[in-house]
Structure 1
Amino acid sequence: MTTLHGPIDGAFDAATVNDLEPADLVLPDRVAGRMYTDPGIFEQEMSRIFERTWVWVAHESELPKAGSFKTTTVGRQPVIVARDRKGNINTMLNRCRHRGASVCEQRTGHANGFTCPYHAWSYGLDGKLRGLPYPDGYEGVMDKSGVALQRLRTESYGGMVFATFADEDELEPLEDFLGDVKLWIDRFMKQGGGYPIKVLGTHQFRFKGNWKIQLENTTDGYHFPIVHRSWMASVDAETAEMMSFMTDPAATTHDLGNGHSVMEMVPEHSDLDVDDGTEPLQERFADLVEALGAQGLDSGSVRRLVRAMHGTGFNLNLFPNVSMSISFLRVLRPISADETVIEHVALGPDGPPEIVDPVNRERLRIHEHFQGPFGFGTPDDAEGWDRVQRGAAAAPEMPIMVNRGLGREEPSPEGWPTSHVTDETGMRAAYGMWKRMMSDD
């Protein structure tokens, strides 16, 4: 049995907590509330974490053809993610090399390149400088090849695109960073019911709290029946029963390494290819079953699509900024120590419209019911996150506890530290990586 660091009411030394180095604010069973409130720590997080590791920037379906682009951030730095004419995906700093103006203000779109509105320096989809007005003034003083848009290393796995400012000698390849997460990404992408996954739409909101509060939430099964009572009361009995995992011994959370973790709430849906055919399809989807059958789909294909309507049975947390949460992506963008932007990305199968359109309409209604701005789930979550931030400002020496299940955490057959779905294994995984990256050595 694991020994806790100290009594549950133990605190950091009130006289020295503000003098501790960031890495010393993480202990095996608790973290300091100062980690949520200190602007200096936030600044170090942006440089030591968000600019030194792989950060999720796009799903490949958002960049379907040459010229497709989206703008986003890596940490707080604005970037453009674009597919060039060779089919390569490039991530580039959204900053003209001349006088620093942004070269693209659209959130998404299609372009032949990017032109600065200030002095009309123009760049290709790969970031190379293509032209500039009145070039005679630069003869002998500038080489065009040396002033391309700054490019970030960009790699993808399973349709998920990541970028980093770190060089190859500073950070391992993406697939090595993901490690055992790759198995779970593969499983998550099976919710297309035999079709690829595509982005259906996105929406954003802000909450007045630190980004790590939301990072914790994705693998926090302990809060679900408490915070989401109204959602549980609003759904059909079959859905409520499916999400009643609090006392299920098979519902577990795994530490996957490098700060990543997965929370299996509905283990029988963790791998949607595993189906013995005995689980009845929910009655609420009877009309959809009939409509798909009318399009000529065989019963097995219909079952595969409908059984995946709620997504997978798990939340996968990828350190530091994205979670693959049951059926959607949740992306966090830190603004300051006490403000964070959250983007929810709805997903669905990409196939013949007569097949996938009715499926995706239903999936969007499910998404809106929980994640939407007027939904029964996310607004309640956001209220909790706000309250954590307000409370953390009090008594900075008083710790934030992450010790639930520490005494019953055991290795899985795969070697993953594992405990019950209500335990805080995922939070300890994230803070272990945070401590490692924030350490001076």
Structure 2
Amino acid sequence: MSEADTYPESFHAEGNDLVAVPRFEEYRGFWFLNFDSGAISLEEFLGDAREYIDMVVDQAEEEMCVVDGVQEYSARANWKMLSENSTDVLHVETLHPTYLDLIRTNSGGTIVRGKLNGGGVSLGNGHSVVEREATYGRPVAQWISLWGEEAKAEIEQVYARLVSKFGAERAERMAKRSRNLLIFPNLVINDIMSVTVRTFQPISPDYMEVSVWSLAPKEEFGKPALERRLTNFFEFLGPGGFATPDDIEALESCQRAFASWREAPWNDLSKGFGAEKSHPTDELTQRSFWIEWEKWISRGSKP
């Protein structure tokens, strides 16, 4: 019996092709899928967040590429808490002191704890970013003594290229400042001691699964620069690094605490609310997420 004989006469294979998704759009190599044919354009959705994506992509002389492999882990916490955590500037000093002490050692004492030059910015549509002076070595392009003199010469060349192409002010910002960018609701681009892309999906109200990829300029592949970048990645953001286990413990502790919502039915994110001028430690970025989330819930729609 042929395969055709197993289908009824009314079946026509040519009319059963896969259906294209309504919206599949790209910005600077990042692809976004949307099942809502009536949604606004990707460019309009990203809005002011595009500047910070540009800041990441423009670091590469050729193009920014995904390094082979993906890190996958989970947390017994509601996924929205990781959206909060990803742009929270307050927790770094108290939650990751061991890493900050390591930075001081690796930099020969030139980089110390307690330095906060920057803060959070609301970018509209629920997006937000924390941009601050980088207090660690960055492959693009901030040298630390641990990397040696050969690496110093390489990084100085990278920095000179950025200055030549983008000017001194933008080059300084690209190389010496870091960014934690949240694209609403669950995409995070960390441009810190390495460049990573993080997404997280709710499996249940108190459980999420997280996927993380490392990005690197194409010209670094096969060179010591990529090894430095990946060491930075694993050391801080890896599942066994100095930061991620701390963050997961904090998220899961908060999830357990939220179980008392009947007795304490609030989550206070009012720090800096109503201030004429934003302070670096304000909770502006968390509020921007929840304001956008409330809009979607009030419409009876999903973002």
**Would the TM-score normalized by the shorter structure come out above 0.5?**
yes
Q: CA deviation at 1:234?
A: 1.7
Aligned counterpart for 2:187 among listed residues 292, 314, 322: 322
Whether 1:263 aligns to 2:125 is no
Render the CA deviation track for 1:156-182: whole Å, top value 9, x for unaligned.
101111101111x2x011111111111
Aligned counterpart for 2:287 among listed residues 428, 431, 437: 428
The separation in 2 between residues aligned to 1:179 and 1:227, in whole angstroms, is 32
Decide which structure has the larger Cα Rg and report it. Answer: 1
Aligned to 1:227: 95
TM-aligned CA distance change 1:139 to 1:215, over 3 Å:
same
1:181-260 aligned at under 5 Å gives the runs: 181-192=49-60, 194-200=61-67, 201-236=69-104, 238=107, 241=111, 244-246=114-116, 248=117, 251-260=118-127
User: What code does the residue aligned with 2:120 have?
Assistant: T
Conserved? CA contact 1:191–1:311, under 8 Å: no
Whether 1:175 aligns to 2:62 is no
Conserved? CA contact 1:259–1:430, under 8 Å: yes
Conserved? CA contact 2:272–2:284, under 8 Å: yes
Say how many residue pairs are matched: 280
Q: Which shows bigger deviation, 227-236 or 426-435? A: 227-236
Conserved? CA contact 1:310–1:366, under 8 Å: no
Aligned to 2:169: none
User: What code does the residue aligned with 1:328 have?
Assistant: T
Q: CA deviation at 1:282?
A: 2.3
Conserved? CA contact 1:322–1:332, under 8 Å: yes
Normalised to the residue count of structure 1, the TM-score between the two structures is: 0.57
Aligned counterpart for 2:12 among listed residues 113, 138, 143: 143
Aligned to 1:369: 235
1:11-26 aligned at under 5 Å gives the runs: none
Structure 1 runs, 4 residues or longer, greater than 6 Å off: 307-311
Conserved? CA contact 1:321–1:331, under 8 Å: yes
For structure 2, the residue ranges without an aligned partner over 5 or more in a row are: 163-171
Conserved? CA contact 1:264–1:315, under 8 Å: yes
TM-aligned CA distance change 1:399 to 1:217, over 3 Å:
same
Conserved? CA contact 2:101–2:112, under 8 Å: no
Conserved? CA contact 1:310–1:363, under 8 Å: no
Aligned counterpart for 1:166 among listed residues 23, 28, 36: 36
Whether 1:300 aligns to 2:157 is yes
Normalised to the residue count of structure 2, the TM-score between the two structures is: 0.81
Task: Determine helix, strand or coil for the equivalent of 2:267.
Answer: strand
TM-aligned CA distance change 1:288 to 1:341, over 3 Å:
farther
TM-aligned CA distance change 1:240 to 1:302, over 3 Å:
closer
Higher helix share: 2
For structure 1, the residue ranges without an aligned partner over 5 or more in a row are: 1-132, 294-298, 411-418
Task: Determine helix, strand or coil for the equivalent of 2:270.
Answer: coil
